[in-house]
């Protein structure tokens, strides 16, 4: 059934979508997924079950398009809206998951764990190695990532590292002074023992170079066997379990955004 549409809006007059494009008509199931109703597949089921209306008419055809600027979409009689503000979230990255949004092999990737249907344009801010666990940020705000990853931003990132060999006093001092890496000296790190033994260490770095922490321990003749990121700036994982994510509240994003290189 053709949908009643009150007006057509020319492309030039459409607002930016905040992701480099304009707000344009889209398939209804995509709209529902982006509005956070359900995944695209589950949204299709809602449509075929006759639970979705557009401008008051039930729409069950999977090819139907809606204009977010004009059409009123409802599920079970309740209106749903598109998210139009930038979204930033933290994921507790589990072990064995690759930091990429595009699958290159059958290995699990972080894109499988975060709500990409609901927030298109979500991308990871920095990366954790596949065997590293812990706090990984994502955002739809490209500028936030650029700011936080800028070398002059110096956001402290704290890791728990479980080492092959005990950390020696001399090794700790070298890390605190700034060890030499093959792409230039590392900035001084904060280092302390994190458990009873001398192989579990908490280390805070303010850079984000490739394999940074592992290479720093290698430079003092040791080796990281397990690496976990506990915090990023003032953010900690809190009650999140491996594989879980949560959106940041405005104050948390604002606290991160104080870095302006
Ligand atoms: N440093 C590393 O060596 N690996 C990570 O995943 C993060 C920091």
Domain ranges of the chain: 11-80, 88-151+235-256, 157-232
Please say if 129 is a catalytic residue: yes
Q: In this structure, which residue's CA is closest to atom 4 in ligand 1?
A: 211
**Alpha-carbon distances, residue 180 vs 183, 224, 261 (angstroms):** 8, 17, 25
Task: Locate 27 and state its tokens.
Answer: 């398939």
State the DSSP code for 206. Answer: S
Q: For a ligand 1 pocket test, name from 149, 210, 214, 220 the mutation site with the most ligand atoms within 8 angstroms of its C-beta.
A: 214
Residue ranges around ligand 1 (CB below 6 Å): 128-129, 132, 211-214, 227
Per CATH, 88-151+235-256 and 157-232 having the same topology is answered: yes
Q: Provide the residue-wise pLDDT of the chain in tens; the chain has 261 residues.
A: 445 555 688 888 877 676 667 788 999 999 998 888 988 899 999 999 999 999 999 999 999 999 988 899 999 999 998 877 789 999 999 999 999 999 888 999 999 999 888 887 899 999 999 999 999 999 988 888 888 888 788 899 999 999 999 999 999 999 999 999 999 999 999 999 998 899 999 999 999 899 999 999 999 999 999 999 999 999 999 999 999 999 999 899 988 866 655
Exposed e or buried b for every residue in 201-239, given b needs 16+ CB within 10 A? Answer: bbbbbebbeeebbbbbbebbebebeebbbbbbbebebee
What's the CA gap between 176 and 217, in Å, rounded?
Answer: 12
Global pTM reads: 0.79
Q: Kind and range of the H or E element at 43? A: helix 40-48
Q: Domain 157-232, CATH 2.40.50.140 — does that match?
A: no
- Domain 88-151+235-256: give its CATH code: 3.30.70.580
CA 239 to centroid of ligand 1, rounded, Å: 22
Q: What are phi and psi of 104, to 5 degrees?
A: -110, -15
Name the active-site residue from 129, 182, 183, 239. 129
198, with CB counted inside 10 A (0-12, 13-18, 19+), is middle
Architecture per CATH, 11-80: Roll (3.10)
């Amino acid at each position: 059934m053709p949908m009643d549409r009150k007006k057509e809006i020319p492309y030039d007059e459409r607002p930016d979508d905040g992701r480099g494009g304009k707000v344009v008509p889209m398939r209804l199931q995509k709209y529902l997924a982006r509005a956070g109703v359900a995944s695209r597949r589950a949204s299709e089921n809602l449509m075929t079950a006759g639970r979705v209306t557009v401008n008051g008419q039930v729409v069950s055809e999977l090819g139907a398009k809606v204009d977010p600027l004009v059409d009123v979409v409802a599920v079970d009689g309740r209106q749903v809206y598109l998210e139009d503000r930038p979204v930033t979230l933290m994921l507790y990255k589990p072990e064995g998951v690759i930091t990429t949004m595009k699958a290159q092999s059958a290995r699990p990737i972080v894109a499988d764990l975060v709500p990409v249907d609901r927030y298109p344009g979500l991308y990871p801010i920095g990366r954790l190695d596949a065997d590293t666990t812990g706090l990984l940020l994502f955002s739809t705000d490209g500028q936030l990532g650029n700011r936080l990853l800028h070398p002059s931003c110096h956001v402290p990132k704290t890791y728990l590292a479980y080492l092959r060999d005990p950390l020696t006093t001399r090794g700790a001092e070298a890390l605190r002074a700034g060890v030499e890496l093959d792409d230039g000296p590392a900035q001084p790190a904060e280092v302390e023992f994190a458990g009873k033994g001398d192989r579990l260490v908490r280390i805070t770095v303010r850079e984000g170079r490739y394999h940074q922490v592992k290479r720093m321990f290698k430079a003092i003749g040791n080796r990281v066997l397990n690496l976990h990121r506990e915090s990023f700036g003032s953010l900690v994982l809190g009650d999140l379990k491996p594989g879980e994510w949560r959106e940041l509240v405005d104050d948390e994003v604002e606290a991160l955004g104080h870095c302006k290189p």
